[in-house]
């Protein structure tokens, strides 16, 4: 995919004897919302760690807007427009929600309070995410769904070119999920951000994404439109069979 904002090719990762990823290639275009689904342990979070630079792959390359960033740090990638959220939330607990967004914009130059510009941007993003009333709250005091929304807001503190979301809807109420879907849609449609979304709620993924990649046992099992992936017998066997029979969450909501 030549016009991809983010492309990984031939990614391999081993943890000792465990082959977590083997020859995995994925790409996301600007403005595209692409789903990444698969059973527990399929390698989704490991792939996010490779894409964001937190784990160096044993094989393969990662390109951000055509530039090979395989050897670049997570900070470098973030400064060049790649942002992510974590399956286990990673907000700074000793900072308010608003200050978490301020620090995300000012990096190592942050002083308590931040600049007027980053405070204004933080307020704007919090409002867009429906969190305007919680700017002064501390993340540890928030219910899971709101804390996850705050983490999404932090990832948007600087407008991203590509956004990686690791189970963002886990633990959210239906209303929070709808808001999340609205924010992601707007980001893709209006700002041209490419989104890669990991989520066990298959209905949520199929509604939101125009393309879905299925990982199983560290390999790409299938890829295509939601309808095509849903109909794929191999995907049904490996993953969808159990979820579509009524178990919509393979993983329990992560309380952290
Ligand atoms: N730091 C690590 N050390 C050893 N093995 C690991 C490590 N991280 C992940 N693994 C293994 O790599 C494989 C892929 O794990 P990963 O967390 O990427 O899966 P996942 O698709 O994100 O699963 P889930 O849906 O449960 O979040 C699993 O077998 C896991 O046990
Ligand atoms: Mg995971």
User: Does 28 share its domain with 53?
Assistant: yes
User: Does 75 share its domain with 32?
Assistant: yes
Beta bridge partners of 76: none
In this structure, how many other beta carbons lie within 10 angstroms of the beta carbon of residue 241? 12
Provide the CATH number for the domain around residue 246. Answer: 3.40.50.300
CA of 135 to the centre of ligand 1 (A): 34
User: Does 167 share its domain with 47?
Assistant: yes
User: Does 155 share its domain with 173?
Assistant: no
Which structural domain range is residue 193 located in?
Answer: 1-81+160-256
Which among 110, 143, 159 is the end of a domain? Answer: 159
Is 159 touching ligand 1 by the criterion CB < 6 Å?
no
| Site to substitute for ligand 1 among 45, 239, 253, most atoms within 8 A of C-beta | 45
User: Does 64 share its domain with 104?
Assistant: no
**Cα 14 off chain centre by:** 22
In this structure, how many other beta carbons lie within 10 angstroms of the beta carbon of residue 149? 24
User: Does 138 share its domain with 37?
Assistant: no
User: Does 187 share its domain with 236?
Assistant: yes
CA of 20 to the centre of ligand 1 (A): 7
User: Does 136 share its domain with 232?
Assistant: no
Instruction: Give strand ranges (E) for 186-248.
Output: 194-198, 211-216, 219-224
User: Does 218 share its domain with 137?
Assistant: no
Of 95, 66, 92, give the one whose Cα is nearest residue 81.
Answer: 66
CA of 81 to the centre of ligand 1 (A): 26
Tell me whether residue 86 is in a domain.
no
| Site to substitute for ligand 1 among 46, 201, 202, most atoms within 8 A of C-beta | 46
Q: Whose C-alpha lies nearest to ligand 1, atom 24? A: 40
How do the pLDDT tens digits run along the chain, 256 residues long? 679 999 999 999 999 999 999 999 999 999 999 999 999 999 999 999 999 999 999 999 999 999 999 999 999 999 999 999 998 888 999 999 999 999 998 875 667 778 889 999 999 999 999 998 999 999 999 999 999 999 999 999 999 999 999 999 999 999 999 999 999 999 999 999 999 999 999 999 999 999 999 999 999 999 999 999 999 999 999 888 855 543 444 444 444 4
Q: What is the pTM of this model?
A: 0.92
């Amino acid at each position: 995919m030549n016009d991809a904002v983010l492309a990984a090719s031939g990614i391999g990762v081993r943890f000792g004897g465990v082959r977590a990823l083997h020859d995995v290639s994925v790409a996301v275009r600007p403005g595209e919302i692409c789903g990444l689904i698969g059973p527990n342990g399929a390698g989704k979070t490991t792939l996010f760690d490779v894409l964001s630079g937190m784990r160096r792959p044993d094989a393969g390359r990662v390109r951000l807007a055509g530039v090979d960033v395989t050897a670049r740090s997570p900070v470098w990638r973030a400064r060049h427009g790649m942002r992510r959220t974590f399956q286990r939330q990673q907000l700074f607990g000793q900072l308010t929600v608003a200050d978490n967004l301020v620090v995300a914009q000012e990096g190592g130059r942050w002083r308590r309070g931040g600049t007027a510009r980053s405070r204004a941007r933080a307020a704007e993003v919090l409002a867009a995410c429906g969190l305007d009333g919680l700017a002064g709250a501390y993340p540890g005091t928030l219910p899971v769904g709101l804390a996850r929304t705050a983490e999404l807001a932090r990832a948007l503190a600087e407008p991203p070119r590509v956004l990686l979301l690791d189970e963002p809807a886990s633990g959210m109420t239906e209303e929070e999920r709808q808001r999340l879907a609205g924010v992601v849609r707007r980001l893709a449609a209006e700002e041209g951000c490419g989104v890669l979304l990991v989520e066990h709620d298959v209905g949520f993924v199929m509604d939101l994404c125009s393309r879905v990649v299925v990982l199983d046992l560290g390999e790409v099992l299938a890829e295509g439109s939601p309808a095509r992936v849903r109909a794929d017998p191999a995907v049904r066997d490996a993953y969808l069979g159990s979820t579509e029979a009524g178990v919509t969450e393979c993983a329990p909501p992560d309380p952290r």
